Amino acid sequence: MLQETISKLLQYAVEEAQRRGVLPQVGVPEVAVEHPQNPDHGDYASSLPLKLARSARTSPMDIAETVVRFIAPVPEVGKVDVAPPGFINLTLAGEWLAQQVEVVLAQGEWYGDTGSGRGTRVQLEFVSVNPTGPLHVGHGRGAVLGGTLANVLKAAGYSVEKEYYVNDAGNQMTSFYRSLYARYQQELGHAAELPADGYRGEYVVDLAREIVAEVDGGLLELPEEVALDRIGRMGLRKAQDSIRRDLDLLGVTFDVWFSEQSLYDSGQFQRTMALLRQNGFVVDKEGAVWFASSEMGEDKDNVLVRSNGTPTYFASDIAYHRNKFSERGFDRVIDIWGADHQGHVPRMKAAVQALGIDPARLEIIITQMVSLRRGDVELKVSKRSGELVTLRELVEVVGADACKFFFLSRSADSQMDFDLELAKRESSENPVYYVQYAHARIASILRVAEERGVRYENGDVTLLVDPAELALIRKMIQLEEVIELVAGTLQPHHLPYYAQNLATAFHSFYKQCRVISDDPALTAARMKLVEASRVVFARALHLMGMSAPERM
């Protein structure tokens, strides 16, 4: 990776200066390089001299001047400058930049991929909503975040498995089944009361009507417990199918749908509880079974099995994570949870450690709430008011691509406002339109070239010397850095930000440089640049799970 190449170049320069006795023999900190905010300061900058100054007892500017003398010449770097109070600025060579167009074209759809993951097995679990109703907009944010992270981690060389944890066991499912059975009876004209903790949404009525259409009143002839089991199985299947359809509409898929109930049926839950007890982390008190969280630094212990014998959600979650690490052997596990699970994070980390697993292997991302707006007006997300509430409704109104881009545009730990008017606007004010229009414009140029019989396979990229051309290439080659950044931080909001900057660079190039002109050689070179930019745009969009339209 280019950033790593620049970093090593500076490190070797310092070490060579020390070897020759020009700089004192002091420890060299990690050499960090970054993109200066002011492009006049070059493509990369390092504050290494400032970090060395105290231990070397030398001024940062003197250190910078010394280091620069020992920077080995490489094709990538065209110019090196020193700037107060002790920065080293490096500018990429124009000739090398132009050649990157050929690199992009040679690598095609794999451009930007890295091998940093080295095949590390990663399990990415997200959405995992109880199968008791439709997905809402907040679930959509987690779905998009998970799908994009999976794409980026794969591009970075990780082996990724996407999983949906189906909470098909426990009290909530029992309540859902009883609610569905009550609605079923009501649909058939029988008096039936919803349970006090029942599900009262209109979707439960819709499910009951579907079941009546399939089995009529046949379930009423069965003993209640048998009927509850039958209708529960039907309702679970229908709810899961509805969730799958909503996710398909968004373009998010899973490799595995893991059943919570299977942990009990296979005995894994019981074995996990036995292991915790064996390790000394189970306490029996007040008629219940507790996890000794306080032994792991938590403020209080947490219930595993209630006094009535039913396991808690926390208990099954511990068994589930043991399955991930110990049974299926994932190297890393990444969970994406909603804001209401914030308090669950430290105790889950403690439980993993109690199982003898390094808690650093478990990474948990918490997504914050999504507010819907129409311009300056915040929407009341209520079915009763007729406003949007479900993910399906949102996708049908603004489209899957807009959902993905907007959901990704803020870091997961930030609350976000989703502006419906902006998401539908066909103008440069809408970042989704702005980015996709750049790709569509590229496709239009390629079509015109084909219609005119313009051939550019043998174009000479050394003719690409205009500042707008080089600025576009500079932005294109940053894709690899963005992939590494997102894979390392698990923060995919860097992708839409990059895509907007790439679009700005392309639109600027298009305005300043006539692509198809009377100069055949320059036309061929610029057409190569256009085709290469198409590759990078499509790659960035596809990493976000978005389409790359050819017409808009």
Tokens 């060299």 label which residue? 28
Give the pLDDT confidence of 151-207 residue by residue, as tens digits.
999 999 999 999 999 999 988 899 999 999 999 999 999 999 999 888 888 889 999
Number of domains forming the structure of the chain = 3
96-129 pLDDT per residue, tens: 999 999 999 999 999 999 999 999 999 999 999 9
Task: Please state, in angstroms and rounded to a whole number, the distance separating the CA atoms of residues 423 and 197.
Answer: 37
CA distance 441 to 435: 10
Long-range interactions of 378-381: CB distance < 8 A, separation 24+: 378/417, 379/420, 381/136, 381/137
Reference 339, options 367, 365, 311; nearest CA is 367
Task: Tell me the average pLDDT across 2-18.
Answer: 95
pLDDT at 518: 95
Core vs surface per residue 482-495: b (16+ CB within 10 A) or e:
bbbbbbeebbbbbb
Answer yes or no: are the C-beta atoms of 63 and 86 closer than 8 Å.
yes
- Could you tell me which of 348, 252, 245, 230 has the C-alpha nearest to residue 298? 348
Among the candidates 92, 121, 155, a domain finishes at 92
Instruction: Please report whether residue 463 resides in a domain.
Output: yes
Q: Which helix (H) or strand (E) holds 83?
A: strand 77-83
Percent of the chain with pLDDT strictly greater than 70? 99
CATH code: domain of residue 41:
3.30.1360.70
Mean pLDDT over residues 40-45, rounded? 94
The contacts of residue 235 (CB under 8 Å, 6+ apart) are: 176, 177, 180, 207, 211
Domain annotation covers residue 139: no
Tell me the whole-structure pTM to 2 decimals.
0.93
Residue 309 in tokens: 């014998």
pLDDT of 414 strictly over 80: yes
Q: Quote the tokens at residue 166.
A: 């189906």
Cite the beta strand spans of 322-421 per DSSP E.
332-338, 362-367, 370-374, 377-378, 416-419
The residue behind tokens 């209630």 is 306
Residue 487 pLDDT > 50:
yes
Do residue 441 and residue 514 come from a single domain? yes
Question: Residue 324's pLDDT band (boundaries 50, 70, 90)?
Answer: very high
Q: What sign results for the dihedral spanned by CA atoms 274, 276, 280, 285?
A: negative
Same domain flag for 34 and 106: no
Residue 261 within any structural domain of the chain: no
pLDDT at 530: 98
Rounded to 10°, the helix 224-250/171-187 angle is 100
Range of the domain at 71: 2-92
Are 49 and 103 found together in one domain? no
The CATH number covering residue 475 comes to: 1.10.730.10
What separation in angstroms does the CA of 534 have from each of 88, 109, 149, 245, 469? 33, 10, 22, 31, 14
Q: Is residue 19 part of a domain?
A: yes
Q: Please, what's the b/e burial string for 412-433 (b: 16 or more CB within 10 A of its CB; e: otherwise)?
A: beeebebbbebbeeeeeebbbb
